[in-house]
Structure 1
Amino acid sequence: MPAAEQPIPSVWTRPRRTREQPALSREQIVAEAVRLLDAEGVEALSMRKLGTRLDAGATSLYRHVGNKDELIELVVDEVYGELEVPEAGDPADWRAAVAGSAHGLRAMALRHPWVTSVLGQAGLSYLGPNLMRMSDRLLALFKAAGFPSDEADQAMKAVIAYVIGAATSEAAYLSMLARSGRGEREFLESLHPSTEEAVQDHPELREGLAAQRGRDPQRVRDENFAYGLERILDGLGTRLGGGASAG
């Protein structure tokens, strides 16, 4: 078969096998994979290790999941299932609904810090049922607000790109923090002498560092995320006419 006619490799593009093992299901495999990823990170994920945790051989797993790439697609869609996106209602409520969904996406990414690091490996992740449900509802929110169909899709992607970009950096930081075995305040205080020395020749950074000293670092992270999100929603609101961007 010519290369151009080869099927695209993805768990979402091939029929699901109907012959299931009573003792092991795809759902069990995916749930255990998520627990493994949450506990040990993406570097620890292998079909062999997952099979050991399930008290099953890797061959048993391959009856339900073709390979590790398919497993990544499945676990990504699994955690997207945690998101709650409201149904479209009053057009005036679009901003609060989109903001709530964005905060929910960030919270999911921080609960599962491995997810942002595997999105590039997730193949046709947008075909996953949970991700499709989220996207469909977000599109409905933007369309109810008054965005035309093509711009609703662009607006949705702009918000998601901001959330994933911000959450990727934050998740990496929190993973490093977890590896340090220290609390966030303690960790930042231990870095303060080195950071203070590094900013001595940079007056704007030095002023910013002094202003943040002693503040709750989690609150700072929350405020930074909210600021960026609100400015994106401000910009999108201007596309709807006067008053639509009011927070």
Structure 2
Amino acid sequence: MVAHSSSGARPGRPPAVSIAEIHATAARIADDAGLEAVSFRTLGEALNVSAMSIHRATGGIDALRHALIAELVEEAVSATAWPEHDWIATVETFAFGLRDLLMRHPLVLEAHRKAALDTPGANDVAHRVVAALRQGGLSAEEAAYGYAAVHDFVTGHVAIRLGRGELELLMVDPRHREVSVFAEHHDSERRFATGLGFILAGLAGSGRSQAPHTSTPRSANGGTHADR
């Protein structure tokens, strides 16, 4: 959890609502309508307080949005159970964790498209994944770009899913659906798990390590992510 300052509040005058309430409401608004929809006015209306109360509690709209993103990222990182002594499982944990965060809070992906997620937790995760890839036999440069390959695969996959919606194939004209290469293979979980498996196999090959199973990547709890 990120510690937040209430420096914008007037001394001796507590805010009418808590930072936790403001952030929870801002997250709901941003996930539904985007970060630009988060304003003092919309928050005030949702929380039944004045816009000035929100301003006093947060110190400004840019500060509020930045703190909200940081909190969501740090919470996700702190809740991650990292495997030990298994570089493939570490990369899988990163990939599925990032996917789940972005699917749960599209506002994080929206912010990430404009700038890096510059939080202590996000930086620690990046270094952890690069270190795992180094353990898999990759050079420093290969590990950095290997991390980027997994990261970009995840964010691209999520962007497509969020943009097209879960009912994408059902909304396509039946005539077009019949000739699609995905007509019989349109399981988003399998698509993600299989694609990630191919990337891991390539990384393992580059590191001259044993390649993982590409069809059912392992989860940190011993199951398979493909069965989610």
- TM-score (norm: length of structure 1): 0.67
Indicate the residue corresponding to 2:223 in structure 1.
Answer: none
Distance 1:35 1:207 in 2: 35
Distance 1:240 1:222 in 2: 27
Distance 2:44 2:160 in 1: 31
Indicate the residue corresponding to 1:193 in structure 2.
Answer: 174
Q: Does 1:154 align with 2:128?
A: no
Indicate the residue corresponding to 2:89 in structure 1.
Answer: 96
Per the alignment, in what secondary structure is the counterpart of residue 100 of structure 2? helix
Whichever residue aligns with residue 82 of structure 1, its letter is A
Residue of structure 2 aligned with 1:30, choices 23, 29, 37:
23
Whichever residue aligns with residue 151 of structure 2, its letter is I
CA-CA distance at 1:147 after TM superposition: 4.0
Distance 2:171 2:145 in 1: 43
Indicate the residue corresponding to 1:6 in structure 2.
Answer: none
Distance 2:37 2:158 in 1: 21
Residues 155 and 38 of structure 1: CA distance in aligned 2, closer, same or farther (over 3 Å): same
Residue of structure 1 aligned with 2:159, choices 153, 156, 168:
168
Distance 1:148 1:238 in 2: 13
Whichever residue aligns with residue 78 of structure 1, its letter is E
CA-CA distance at 1:244 after TM superposition: 3.1
CA-CA distance at 1:228 after TM superposition: 1.6
Indicate the residue corresponding to 1:120 in structure 2.
Answer: 113
Distance 2:160 2:8 in 1: 42
Whichever residue aligns with residue 161 of structure 1, its letter is D
Q: Does 1:132 align with 2:117?
A: no
CA-CA distance at 1:160 after TM superposition: 1.0
Residue range with higher mean Cα deviation, 139-148 or 43-52: 139-148
Give per-residue Cα distances to partners, 1:135-157, cap 9 Å, x unaligned. Answer: 34333433444445454333222
Residues 106 and 192 of structure 1: CA distance in aligned 2, closer, same or farther (over 3 Å): same
Residue range with higher mean Cα deviation, 226-235 or 109-118: 109-118
Indicate the residue corresponding to 1:231 in structure 2.
Answer: 198
Residues 133, 143 of structure 2: 8 Å contact kept: yes
Distance 1:87 1:172 in 2: 30
Q: Does 1:245 align with 2:218?
A: no
Distance 2:51 2:143 in 1: 43
Distance 2:94 2:106 in 1: 18
Residues 66 and 19 of structure 1: CA distance in aligned 2, closer, same or farther (over 3 Å): closer
Distance 1:106 1:41 in 2: 18
Distance 1:28 1:54 in 2: 8
Gap runs ≥5 in structure 2: 214-228
Whichever residue aligns with residue 131 of structure 1, its letter is A
CA-CA distance at 1:134 after TM superposition: 2.8
Per the alignment, in what secondary structure is the counterpart of residue 56 of structure 1? coil
Cα RMSD (Å) of the superposition?
A: 3.2
CA-CA distance at 1:104 after TM superposition: 2.0
Q: Following superposition of structure 1 onto structure 2, how do residues 57-68 of structure 1 map, counting pairs within 5 Å?
A: 57-68=50-61
Residues 19 and 76 of structure 1: CA distance in aligned 2, closer, same or farther (over 3 Å): closer
Residue range with higher mean Cα deviation, 221-230 or 62-71: 62-71
% identity of equivalent residues: 27
Whichever residue aligns with residue 193 of structure 1, its letter is P
CA-CA distance at 1:60 after TM superposition: 2.9
Q: Does 1:211 align with 2:184?
A: yes
Choose 1 or 2 for highest CA Rg: 1
Distance 2:120 2:51 in 1: 26
CA-CA distance at 1:43 after TM superposition: 5.4
CA-CA distance at 1:105 after TM superposition: 1.4
Q: Does 1:49 align with 2:30?
A: no
